[in-house]
Structure 1
Amino acid sequence: MPASEPSWWYGPDGGWQTSLLSPVGALVGGIASRRIANANPYHSSLPVICAGNFTAGGSGKTPLALFLAKLVAEEGREPWFLSRGYGGKLEGPVRVIPARQTARDVGDEPLLLARSAPAVVSRDRRKGAEAIEAMASKQAVIIMDDGLQNPALAKDLVIALVDQRRGFGNGLVIPAGPLRAPLDIQGKLAHLIVLTGQGPADPALLQTLKAISTAPVITAETRADGDVARFRNRKVIAFAGIANPERFFSTLGSLGADIVARKAFADHHMFSEAEARDLLETAERAGASLVTTEKDLARLAGTTGVRATLRERAETIVIRTAIEDGDLEILRRLVRGAIVR
């Protein structure tokens, strides 16, 4: 089961954990830097767009990948998703068929992506790209959900998402901090940086981005979509096993829901029968509805017993990426440039 994100990654004082793990983080960062510098990537015959981030955890990659698929389709091209399939047992390459597979097979994110466009899971990104080349038409465009630091596959457009509220935490590399590689190395990989979250960007964060990258910076919001009015003044039990559950809880609260309990689990968490029973009983005692994320509901697909009951009773909030005005035009221009072959 994936571990929860350490709170001290983003705390004001990392304490003894940071001091203890800093040498390990420096070693991991050095290995990642050499891997990127010595890369001999495969150049696909199809355009490749990557939506990734500099840090571990969620920053809205999957909603952005879905948004990119929409833009690609509007340009008359055929979007195909490529994912590592984190949390799934299949190494791939394998095409995702939601009616036949579960999150234990391919991971939760690919199941969501495959609802909108064809998706392939592959631990080896080169093999995944080659599989898409074999299955798709010449009008296809590969959209990678994550993989910014993976040097195995050359990318025509790299988009790095940054949560403007959390930034880069303590600025250290895993496991000492949230960074996947040294920030100055990662910054050079990005062609576009997308700030996610509400409100104005922190000037200090913008200064850091300017120092590590020459890429343009735009902003995006993740918004609840669909019939959100149904949550207003309703008593709910909110549960989520994602990288940043507080974002989900905050979104639900902003819709006017009366959140009587918040249940946070590790990212990509597979719910047990006991946990499902506890959630159902808590909701029954409180006279409240159960609300979760689309990813969490995807992980409950194909389950039986109490977990199947939880899936039937839980409602979800649909989250969509919104990019507007001049920022949208910047993104469109870069997408058009990337897919021209």
Structure 2
Amino acid sequence: MKRLQEYWYDRSSSKYLPVRLLKPLSSLVAAVAHRRLVKATSVASPVPVIVVGNLSVGGTGKTPVTVYLVELLRRQGFNPGVISRGYGGKAPSSPFDVQSDSLGAESGDEPLLIARRCGCPVVVDPVRPRALSFLLAKYSCDVVISDDGLQHHALARDVEIVVIDGARGLGNGLCLPAGPLRESADRLTTVDFILHNSRQADLSMYCLDAGALPPQHVFGLNPGQAVHCLSGRRVSLSALPQLPTVAALAGIGHPQRFFTMLEGLGVSLQATHAFVDHHQFRREDLASIEGELILMTEKDAVKCRDFADERCWYVPIEAVFDDSASAIDVSFDQQITAAVTASASRKVI
């Protein structure tokens, strides 16, 4: 019997009894999400706020996009900071100022990854306006990225970016629990950018008017050099030790994407271990994996830092935009920079 999540990405799933039974609940979720959107009272920010989020649950590539934005904005002369709910972490206090040596169990894995990779201010708090106030009081940030903040309406935003898994799209187009969506698909007509991971998803099946959609861009996820978890040594994947047993683990929204990427790069995997997204790894998890070399994602590595062994390497990835295949002439970099600059000029600091 199929698990419910398998129906989510079957576009003919409406014919199946479990989905039909859950459709009324999905309609209720969509209605509640819409009401929260239109009735929200949002706190304004003195600096531009960019929201990076998604409509569907699970991994779409939001974190690499957030890292990309931090680095892009820095190149353009801005001083960005990041706020996040800190999902999967239990901070000792809120707001929590994430440092590169913070514990993933406290900050959450994604905020810790961003803090370590970018070296920028990162603050986690389930109350986004409070996180923003703390960030601006302590750091001289002139633009803030609200990671996974699309459904958190308490904080006003100047730019909304939705990230979509290009391969899976919006699944069957239904809201939870019959489908993977947190809000209905027509929410896409109100955001500023749609970014497709790997390839452009076909949004026509969701009865969306193409003319009502915002600019859309496609990005890829390029792997970097493998990094040894203990020493920090970096080598290309092709230069990794040639050992008889190589295993891979991933506790992300879509683990198979990581495994497929490795195999596509010529890594021969004898075993793969998929964990739930935001899994809090323990020493026992690594000890139970049979392999002379273990590859993991950077997101998982930040949680295994204190007990990783000599076998452990992680593979960082970065978002790369190829606007040569875009239907519009202006690149994403140019559009987002112009949007932030325009917003900043309207703010009274």
TM over 0.5, shorter chain: yes
Cα distance between partner residues in 2 of 1:5 and 1:322:
33
Per the alignment, residue 9 of structure 2 pairs with 10
The question of whether the paired residues in 2 share the 8 Å contact of 1:219 and 1:327 is answered with no
Cα distance between partner residues in 2 of 1:92 and 1:44:
19
Say yes or no: does 1:245 pair with 2:248. Answer: no
Which sits farther off after the overlay, 213-222 or 322-331?
A: 322-331
Q: 1:125 aligns with which of 122, 128, 136?
A: 128
Cα distance between partner residues in 1 of 2:271 and 2:157:
43
Per the alignment, residue 339 of structure 2 pairs with 334
Give 3-state SS (helix, strand or coil) of 2:156's partner.
coil
Per the alignment, residue 271 of structure 1 pairs with 281
Cα distance between partner residues in 1 of 2:203 and 2:72:
31
Give 3-state SS (helix, strand or coil) of 1:188's partner.
helix
The question of whether the paired residues in 1 share the 8 Å contact of 2:174 and 2:180 is answered with yes
Letter in 2 for 1:148: L
Say yes or no: does 1:86 pair with 2:87. Answer: yes
Cα distance between partner residues in 1 of 2:342 and 2:242:
46
Per the alignment, residue 224 of structure 1 pairs with 223
Cα distance between partner residues in 1 of 2:175 and 2:23:
8
Cα deviation, residue 324, structure 1: 3.5
Say yes or no: does 1:258 pair with 2:268. Answer: yes
Q: Percent identity over the alignment?
A: 34
Give 3-state SS (helix, strand or coil) of 1:120's partner.
strand
Letter in 2 for 1:45: P
Cα deviation, residue 221, structure 1: 0.7
RMSD across aligned C-alpha pairs, in angstroms? 2.3
Per the alignment, residue 305 of structure 1 pairs with none
Cα distance between partner residues in 2 of 1:229 and 1:86:
34
Cα distance between partner residues in 1 of 2:192 and 2:156:
13
| Structure 2: segments with no counterpart, 5+ residues | 226-235, 324-329
TM normalised by structure 2 equals 0.85
The question of whether the paired residues in 1 share the 8 Å contact of 2:47 and 2:142 is answered with yes
The question of whether the paired residues in 1 share the 8 Å contact of 2:166 and 2:196 is answered with yes
Per the alignment, residue 67 of structure 2 pairs with 66
Give 3-state SS (helix, strand or coil) of 1:167's partner.
coil
Q: 2:313 aligns with which of 306, 315, 335?
A: 315
Cα deviation, residue 74, structure 1: 1.4
Quickly say closer, same or farther: Cα 1:309–1:156, change in 2 above 3 A.
closer
The question of whether the paired residues in 1 share the 8 Å contact of 2:188 and 2:194 is answered with no
Cα deviation, residue 212, structure 1: 8.3
Per the alignment, residue 158 of structure 1 pairs with 160
Quickly say closer, same or farther: Cα 1:72–1:25, change in 2 above 3 A.
same
- The correspondence of residues 170-249 of structure 1 with structure 2, limited to 5 A, is 170-184=172-186, 186-198=187-199, 201-203=200-202, 205=204, 210-211=209-210, 213-226=212-225, 227-231=236-240, 235-249=245-259
Give 3-state SS (helix, strand or coil) of 2:260's partner.
helix
Say yes or no: does 1:298 pair with 2:299. Answer: no
Which sits farther off after the overlay, 32-41 or 228-237?
A: 228-237
Cα distance between partner residues in 1 of 2:247 and 2:254:
17
Cα deviation, residue 274, structure 1: 3.7
Which sits farther off after the overlay, 218-227 or 11-20?
A: 11-20
Cα deviation, residue 207, structure 1: 7.8
Cα distance between partner residues in 2 of 1:158 and 1:263:
34
The question of whether the paired residues in 1 share the 8 Å contact of 2:169 and 2:203 is answered with no
1:106-132 superposed Cα distances (whole Å, 9 cap, x missing partner)? 100010111211100010111111111
Per the alignment, residue 52 of structure 1 pairs with 53
| Structure 1: segments with no counterpart, 5+ residues | 303-307
Per the alignment, residue 39 of structure 2 pairs with 38
Cα deviation, residue 21, structure 1: 2.0
TM normalised by structure 1 equals 0.87
Cα deviation, residue 93, structure 1: 1.3
Cα distance between partner residues in 2 of 1:319 and 1:334:
26
Per the alignment, residue 326 of structure 2 pairs with none
